[in-house]
Structure 1
Amino acid sequence: MTSHEPGTAKKQSSPSTHDAPESDRILFVPSGTTTRPKRHVDMVKWLHPAQLIRTGLDALVAAVFGARADHRLIEAVVRPQPLFFDYSDEAAGEDFWLDYVSDTGDGWNPTYAVARLLAKPSLELTDERGQTHALERGRILVLGGDQVYPGASRDTYEERLVQPYEEAMARSPAPSPDLFAIPGNHDWYDGLSAFMRLFCANRWLAGRRTRQSRSYFALKLPRGWWLVGTDVQLENDIDVPQVEYFRQMATHMQPGDRVILCNAEPAWILAATAKRPRGYLENNLDYLQEKVFGRRISLFLAGDLHHYRRHEDPEGRHKITAGGGGAFMHPTHTPKAERLRDGYTLQKSFPDEKTSMKLARQNLMLIRHSPLFGLLTGALYLLLALATFTELGHHGAAQLPDAIRMVAASIVHRPWSLVLGLGTIGGLIGLADPAFGRGRMLAGTLHGLAHIITAFFVAWSSLYFIVSGLGICAEPQPQALAWIDPTDAGCAGWVPLWTKFFMGCALTFLGGFLVGPFVMGLYLTISVNGFGTHSNEAFISLAIPDWKNFLRLRINRDGELTVYPVGLERVPRKWKETNAGPYEPAYEPDDPRATGPVLIEPPIRVRPRD
């Protein structure tokens, strides 16, 4: 491989992992170590109350400080990097292979399952036509963004990315592929510090040598192909020094050269759903695509959306979203993008849209997937009940109008209860997906009213069960410890007033814990399946580890690029140690329900420019 700068060309070898100095190989954990991780982490529980708070704070800090402390500007000054890394002289007379995977580092099971397949020297896979294809491991491994979840830190990278990749890849046989990575928004949550330490220090990671010194790069591939990896930070845009870097790189391209452009986010999907298209005067990334590279770009690759979708234009160029490296699954039936603004049309989805809609309906059992989310709805329902507390224990279903009038009177006499109700509605309007457009306020209002009405029935039924069901009631006296007369009408016994109060609170909280997630799940199901909104929220709630994918690319002797999309429908949940020697993955599947890898669709051929 050659690292190229203007006027210089320096040959560099690609040594085996096993020949690397130990000081270079150690980054987070020793590469090739036989020590097993103490635990294999589960998928991120996004709706866990503590996780919601942490994620919100991370996003807030990143949004406030990220654009004002752009690490890329510092890189351009203090971290020199060749204009491109030259692989064009390799694989003379042979096929050249490279791998692309994105959105890794969530649960151990899916992350390791994909890493294990990437580590194998070769794969023989069958496509939907029944044809078998032999795929060789790539000379280069490109990580396409969002390498770790929920946010970037030294410990999170080690636990959710380095450990599973070490177990799968550190001991794979030589020659060792080179590793390049571009950051996604989750990598930026710590200002890119952990990413730079891990991928931009020219060290070994999981049996792969990192080469880049910046968060963006260019690779000159054999037979007129180039691969460009951009850093779009948090704003889906690139900085001016990055534009200048790629503009200088483009001066080394020959007429007829083709480009594979890797972005961390599928800008084409965002553009298809935007009300107003952007121009290159508003966005540096658009300028790079339209004015610097132009029609040289034959293949667009991106992650961020955790599924596989491919669009193709009449000239045979492709835009592929392949964010299946280990993170939770995103739906493929939304956002709708069957036809893009520039004439690309949808060709394939994995999973298909029918399956995606079916999976979304699992939100109706949200408590099963995110059980601790009920703590939030339980607390909300209890607060709403306390704010409008009224003695409804003797009112059955036949007295519903009377119960409503009593609660309404309580609201009038307690203005802060009205404030709490309006705050609930206002908060859920704020959480409503902007994709609702003008209906966002209506969607949030209906969602808020649904929780308020449900809280009313939960509290009412709790009091009715205590008083009319169990026969527990208390004299309406102001004393905090009033005792009731067991001969009082409708009372089967007596308890302190505070006991009845805490019983009512406990039952109301329990009802909110059980019923509240269903209301939220119903809202998410209707939103994602009926209106194509809340696609992210509806699937982070489920944390589905299945439907993973990565891409294996081949440049043949004639300069034709072929993309092999590898899919894994169900990842293993159980594993067994192999004890098979130093050059095999540490674990093999031990789950009869797991499925093997397949080609998502027949090989995709991208012809070189005439």
Structure 2
Amino acid sequence: MTDDAFGTATPRPTSLDPQELGFTPRKPVPWLGPVLLAVTGARVALAEQFGAYLDKRELQNAFPAETFDHSGGEELWFDFVADLGDGFDATYSMAYLLAQPEIEVGGERLPRGRVLVMGGDQVYPTANDLAYEDRFRGPYRAAMPTPPPGDPIPTLYAVPGNHDWYDGLSAFLRTFARREGTSIGGWRTAQTRSYFALKLPQRWWLIALDSQDGGYLDDPQLTYFKAVAEQIQPGDRIILATPNPSWVKAQESTREYDTIDYFLRKVIAPTGGRVALMLSGDLHHYSRYALADTPPAWDDTAGGTVDGTGRQLITCGGGGAYLAATHTLPSKITVPPKQALPREASNGKEYRLARTYPSKARSLALASGVFWRLPRRNASFLALLGLLHTLLMLALVDARGRVLTTPVFLMVAATLGLTLFFAAGLTSGHRATKHYVLGLTHGFVQVALAVAGAAVWRELPMMHWPTPLPALTAGAFYGPVIALLSAQVVALYLLIAGRLLVNVNELFAGQGIQGYKCFLRMHIDVDGSLTVHPIGVDNVSKHWIPTPTAPEYEPWFEPGDPLVPRRIEPPITIR
């Protein structure tokens, strides 16, 4: 039996049947599905044009403005995970590890965090109650159905990411920010707004902003954090959690870091506190930037710790969503960027890329897997390619020597339009000439492939069969073959475009790689130091063994494939 709501007993499931679970385990989101591509492009456009009209942050002024005190003990273990609400296998694998009483990495046992901070995108692709239930609440409830006996109930806080924002935060606030709090399995929620401040032991603070896509900080949020700032004393150290790694994104779009810089200058700097660590998700990998003038004082083989002198900038978005590239990350960045527009911008400092997971070499090798992973993972996308090419081929064959007919014009226009949309319409941030050049080039290659297909089709005997047999035969035989060939053209385009920093996200989203997940386990020690343990999991489990007779607080399923957590790099100690 399990106690889902800290009081209502329900039977433990014996299978992954939704009727037993109370939710439906979802497959990973098919990011290149035609419908999803169109919806994603529309959402990006609507968010850019009308996002302010959906902003519910101003209304949160009616919610309680609380600072959450976790400073009672001399030390504290706490966790950070982000980008988690995707397919069941990857999401539950990470939830399972986070729920374990302890994990062993590098010969050291690390206890479960008493606080769990989620860094954004708790659900994909769209925020609504059903998606949260199937892709987030259900898996986490299954991983820790009730609070562990004898231990304090772990507390859960969440930052909204861009996917949480697609409904204007409605479902997010219902899930995480109820006045009376609620339970998600064995975790208890406490926050009352989409942003929060945690007072931690040894004069540490964790401050989480809701500054989606570099947007402004609303007045209620500024008022809240100015009240928090009155409690921060000179010399206090601060962990700043943001919805996206603006320090990286600002290298391409300088405005991305403006909001964070304003917050640091106007709210944090007057307190005398020091931001020692900045955390984010959004990019589905692990990366850490350290000040360039700080020597890398560690040896991977020595089992020691990384010297955390100077501010650390960590992206850890490996909670369950598809893997994102690391080989395109800049080796050095300036934060804030030198081209920042605010007249009072802080002086920029240079940071170097200290570590990525996976490594840049491994990421580059994984990128080439697009040729076989894309066709395997995106059946509906292949169906679209097959249909488009079959119609274009039939239009070309029916042209009977004429250069351009209405059907040919319409199909060529559709092909070029779709490739332009793919190259520029889905790409967030600045759209440069290279987006349109690459999109048109890709479109012309697809048209050339169709011309070649039409030339071959004219030589086949079914060309002369009575109507409608040629069209039916083309759909049954020509369509699947040309779809595979066209998919290889798309894969080649993505590989080339990715080298030019165009469609890098789509290059990896189309592959849907579920491995290389990560989270952070952090410890504030009695001496006041903060140690960050970056934990990686190369492979998630895809087979699950029910545990119907286990105690009610144990996970509903044990991994059938071993989950092997390991250190991404030596612990980072900030003293």
**Category of TM-score, reference length = shorter chain:** 0.7 to 0.9
1:370 matched residue in structure 2: 378
Counterpart CA distance in 1 for 2:38 and 2:446 is 21
Q: Residues 576 and 269 (structure 1 numbering): CA distance in 2 closer, same or farther, change over 3 Å?
A: same
CA–CA distance in structure 2, aligned partners of residues 534 and 220 of structure 1: 40
Q: How does 1:99-114 map to 2 (within 5 A)?
A: 99-114=79-94
Equivalent position amino acid for 2:522 in 1? L
Out of 147, 150, 173, the residue aligned to residue 196 of structure 1 is 173
Name the CA distance, whole Å, in 1 between partners of 2:136 and 2:431: 35
1: CA distance, partners of 2:456 / 2:472:
15
- Alpha-carbon contact 1:184-1:232 (below 8 Å) kept: no
Match of 1:428 among 398, 419, 424: 419
Query: Partner of 1:137 in structure 2?
Result: 112
- 1:223 equivalenced with 2:196 (yes/no): no
Among 64, 80, 95, the residue aligned to 1:80: 64
SS at structure 1 position matched to 2:484: helix
Q: Distance in 2 between matches of 1:539 and 1:473?
A: 39
TM-fit CA distance, 1:211 = 0.9
Distance 2:371 2:431 in 1: 21
Instruction: Give the number of equivalent residue pairs.
Output: 526
Which whole-Å CA distance do the structure 2 matches of 1:160 and 1:50 have between them?
20
Spell out, residue by residue over 1:490-547, the C-alpha distance to the aligned partner (whole angstroms, 9 max, x if none). Answer: xxxxx4243234324544433332222111111111222x323312111111111111
Q: Output the CA distance in 2 between the equivalents of 1:584 and 1:21.
A: 14
Change (3 A) 1:58 1:249: same
Q: 1:316 to 1:500 in 2, by over 3 A?
A: same
The structure 2 residue matched to 1:441, chosen from 429, 436, 447, is 436
- Partner of residue 25, structure 2: 40
**Counterpart residue identity of residue 217, structure 2:** I
Local SS of the residue matching 1:227 = strand
* Structure 2 residue 491 is the aligned partner of structure 1 residue 521: yes
Partner of 2:403: 410
Match of 1:273 among 224, 227, 252: 252
Question: Which residue of 2 is the match for residue 554 of structure 1?
Answer: 523
Supply the distance in 1 between the matched residues of 2:503 and 2:433 (Cα, whole angstroms): 15
Q: Give the aligned partner of residue 50 of structure 1.
A: 35
Correspondence for 1:305: 283
**TM-superposed deviation, 1:464:** 1.9
Q: Is the 8 A contact 1:390 1:410 kept in 2?
A: no
Unaligned ranges ≥5, structure 1:
1-16, 127-131, 393-405, 475-494
What are the Cα deviations for residues 544-591 of structure 1, in whole angstroms up to 9, with x where unaligned? 111111101111111101100111000111111233322321211212
Q: Among the aligned pairs, what percent are the same residue?
A: 39
State the shift of 1:59 in Å.
3.9
Shift of 1:61: 4.4
In the aligned structure 2, how far is the partner of 1:32 from the partner of 1:346? 49
Task: Pick closer, same or farther for the CA change 1:419–1:50 going to 2, 3 Å.
Answer: closer
Q: What amino acid does structure 2 have at the position aligned with 1:115?
A: A
2:327 maps to what in 1? 333
Whole-angstrom distance in 1 between the partners of 2:407 and 2:470: 24
Taking structure 1 as reference, are residues 246 and 337 closer, same or farther at Cα in structure 2, changes over 3 Å only? farther
Aligned residue runs from structure 1 range 163-242, under 5 A? 163-173=138-148, 174-201=151-178, 202-242=181-221
Taking the aligned partners of 1:459 and 1:42, their CA distance within structure 2 comes to 37
1:382 to 375, 390, 405: 390
Q: Aligned partners of 2:471, 2:100: CA distance in 1, in Å? A: 63
Question: Conserved in 1, the CA contact under 8 Å of 2:278 and 2:314?
Answer: yes
- Kindly indicate whether the alpha-carbon contact (under 8 Å) linking 2:81 and 2:117 is maintained by their aligned counterparts in 1: yes
Aligned to 2:568: 600
CA distance in 1 between counterparts of 2:259 and 2:23 reads 45
Deviation of 1:249 after TM superposition, in Å, equals 1.1
CA RMSD across the alignment: 2.5
Structure 2 vs 1, CA of residues 600 and 180 (structure 1 numbering), >3 Å: closer, same or farther? same
Shift of 1:430: 3.8
Mapped contact 1:384–1:455 kept (Cα < 8 A): yes
Q: Say yes or no: does 1:531 pair with 2:518.
A: no
Partner of 2:445: 450
**What letter is aligned with 1:257?**
D
Query: Contact 1:525 / 1:538 at 8 angstroms: preserved in 2?
Result: yes
SS in structure 1 of the partner of residue 90 of structure 2: helix
1:248 aligns with 2:227: yes
Q: Kindly provide the CA deviation profile for residues 182-201 of structure 1, in whole angstroms up to 9, marking residues without a partner as x.
A: 10010011111111111011
Structure 1 position 335, deviation (Å): 3.9
Specify every segment of 5 or more residues in structure 2 that has no aligned partner in the other structure, as ranges: 14-19, 295-308, 336-348
Q: Is the 8 A contact 1:307 1:548 kept in 2?
A: yes
Code of the aligned partner of 1:384? L
Correspondence for 2:73: 91
Q: 1:39 to 1:242 in 2, by over 3 A?
A: closer
- 1:115 paired to 2:95: yes
Q: Deviations over 1:581-608 (max 9, x none)?
A: 22321211212xx45001111100112x
- Aligned counterparts of 1:558 and 1:501: Cα–Cα separation in 2: 76
2:12/2:556 contact within 8 Å kept? no
CA–CA distance in structure 2, aligned partners of residues 309 and 289 of structure 1: 22
- Check whether the contact 2:290–2:313 (CA below 8 A) recurs between aligned residues: yes
Residue type at the aligned position of 2:167: D
Query: How far apart, in 1, do the equivalents of 2:53 and 2:463 lie?
Result: 61
Higher mean alpha-carbon deviation, 507-516 vs 555-564, is at 507-516
Contact 1:240 1:284 in 2 (8 A): no
Residue 100 of structure 1 contacts residue 141 of structure 1 at CA under 8 Å; is this kept in 2?
A: yes
What is the match of residue 576 of structure 1?
545
Cα contact 1:149–1:186 (8 A) shared by 2: yes
Match of 2:559 in 1: 589
Letter in 1 for 2:564: G
CA contact (8 A) 1:374 1:512 kept: no
Which structure has the bigger radius of gyration?
1
Whole-angstrom CA distance in 2 between matches of 1:19 and 1:430: 45
1:317 aligns with 2:317: no
**Among residues 266, 272, 288, which one is paired with 1:291 in the alignment?**
266
Q: Which amino acid aligns with 1:355?
A: R
Cα 1:258/1:514, change in 2 over 3 Å = same
CA distance in 2, matches of 1:582, 1:186: 33
Are residues 211 and 598 of structure 1, via their aligned partners in 2, closer, same or farther at CA, if it must alter by over 3 Å?
A: same
CA distance, structure 1, for counterparts of residue 44 and residue 132 of structure 2: 18
The answer as to whether partners of 1:102 and 1:147 remain within 8 angstroms in 2 is yes
Q: Distance in 2 between matches of 1:574 and 1:21?
A: 29
